[in-house]
Amino acid sequence: MKRKILAALLASTMVLSLVGCGGGSDAPAADNGAAATEEAPAAEEAPAADSGAAEEAPAADAAAGGSTLTVWCWDPAFNSNAMYEAEKVYQKDHPDFKLNVVETPWEDIQTKVTTAATSGDLSTLPDIFLMQDNAFQKNVISFPDVCADLTNSGIDFSQFAAGKTAYSVVDGKNYGVPFDNGAVVACYRTDILEQAGLTIDDFTDITFDQYLENGKKVLEATGKPLISMQAGECDLLMMMMQSAGASLFNEDGTANIVGNDTLKVVLETYKSLKDAGVLVEVNSWDEYISSMVSGDVAGTINGCWIMASIQTAEDQKGNWALTNMPSLVGAANATNYSNNGGSSWAVTTNCKDQALATDFLASTFAGSTELYDNILPSGALATWAPAGDSDAYATPNEFFGGDAVSAKIVDFSTKVPSNITGVYYYEARDAVAVALTNYINGADIDTELKTAEDTVNFNMGG
């Protein structure tokens, strides 16, 4: 079984940075960001130290103690920028404190963690590193010696969105400090909706049945679908699943595909949207983005980071509005809230001063409204609930009709149900994506779900 887990980790290293199930090279690392503001700083504004490769700044040197912590993360303008802003905040009370932030792509972090853990030599790891949420449980379960237990560190995890925190919880213990917000938003072109006699209120707190009927009205009046999705991907499926607190795995790690009533409702809902023409599939990520910014579709449902792409259409400023996603009909525990993307900070057991590392995180990402105000312009939205009460988060966003969308998204994040990812999350997503494609093309849904579960069980060595 251990070999199967290791093989799965190594095989999936290059796809963990993709949100979509198909693993296509066009898909972005959506976990990198969320943008609720209209502008983000250019990458070159990040401090020069960010440009170094991990091997050029050995983690062991910085982990030897003192007042310097080494951090691995990707995306200089987003994640690294957030760390440097956190450094400034912490230095106010700790003037000798320093960070050595080493720009490291997520796939490289996963490879380095896997290599260190399997070799038994953790000295190559930094003090802190960023981990994608959907890979967190996988790494803690597979490599229990890598991440420090933060449960009794003094960090108040109750102030974070419960659904976000759950990604880094294993056996009731906290191993990660939540960072960026991947709360799902539904964004719509209000000028297109108006042609069908609809407003954003008609899409707020609704079900997918109502969404389908509204979509038919928009399609009839304008000829435009409500939404596009990349063919072969299953992002929308996973968002629907989590909105009802459902998972592809049971708590004991076994596959939960056959007999999963919520999953069956999700597949049937997706197919009904596509059959009605309310949802249209495109062939690539670029086509997906283009369909929104060119006005070929009337909106989208995705993690809040999608707003950065929407706002590139400057001529559409004021013609977009944001609300929550539709809820599933016929699914127990259905809500209008979900998550797609995001990451959390982990402290390694190689850190020689875990008290410093945890106090730094507790004082900044888990305790500083000032920090979240400072990083909001780069698109870094909090899942730390107190941040949503600040004046910065209440600032109107003119692109989205003057709505205070930042505060709204933080509120959404606090209502997202938890789900179970486990070790084979990505393999399960791939299997379900295949099942969806075959089902849309006429295959029997129960047969496809059985095949998907058999595939996952094979990967798990069952």
Q: Tell whether 432 and 316 lie within a shared domain.
A: yes
Answer yes or no: do 157 and 51 share one domain: yes
H-helix segments, 23-132: 59-62, 81-91, 106-119
Examine the domain organization and report whether 358 and 319 are in the same domain: no
Task: Please report whether residue 352 resides in a domain.
Answer: yes
219 and 100, same domain (yes or no): no
Same domain, residue pair 133 and 260: no
* pLDDT averaged over 10-residue windows placed end to end, the chain, 462 residues: 44 39 36 38 36 38 64 92 97 96 95 97 98 94 97 95 92 96 96 98 98 98 97 94 96 94 97 98 94 96 92 94 97 95 95 96 97 90 91 94 95 93 90 96 97 95 72
Same domain, 214 and 92: no
Q: What is the DSSP letter of 324?
A: P
Q: Does residue 44 lie within any of the structural domains?
A: yes
Residues 6+ apart with CB under 8 A from 184: 239, 243, 301, 302, 303, 304, 324, 325, 337, 338, 339, 340, 412, 416
Residues 274 and 355 in one domain: no
* Direct distance between the N- and C-terminal alpha carbons of the chain, in angstroms, rounded to an integer: 9
In the DSSP assignment, the letter for residue 166 is: G
Distance, CA of 66 to CA of 81 (rounded, Å): 23
pLDDT at 66: 58
Whether residue 27 is contained in a domain is answered as no
Tell me the H-state helices in 63-169: 81-91, 106-119, 133-142, 162-165
Does 432 lie in the same domain as 301?
yes
Give a yes or no: residue 405 inside a domain.
no
260 occurs within a structural domain? yes
- Assign 3-class secondary structure to 204-233: CCCEHHHHHHHHHHHHHHHCCCCEEEECCC
Single residue among 352, 372, 392 that ends a domain in this structure: 392
Considering the domain boundaries, does residue 28 fall inside one?
Answer: no
CA-to-CA distance for 256 and 258, rounded, in angstroms?
A: 6
* Cβ proximity of 446 and 246 under 8 Å: no
For residue 366, the domain's CATH number is 3.40.190.10
pLDDT of residue 378: 79
Give residue 320's pLDDT. Answer: 98
4 within domain boundaries: no
Domain range holding 168? 40-181+340-392
Note whether 49 and 67 are same-domain residues: yes
What is the DSSP track for 332-361? TT--S--B---EEEEEBTT-S-HHHHHHHH
User: If you count them, how many residues does the chain have?
Assistant: 462
Specify if 11 maps to a domain: no
Q: Are 131 and 194 in the same domain? A: no
- Tell me: do 315 and 454 sit in the same domain: yes
Q: Total domain count for the chain?
A: 2
State whether 253 and 220 are in the same domain.
yes
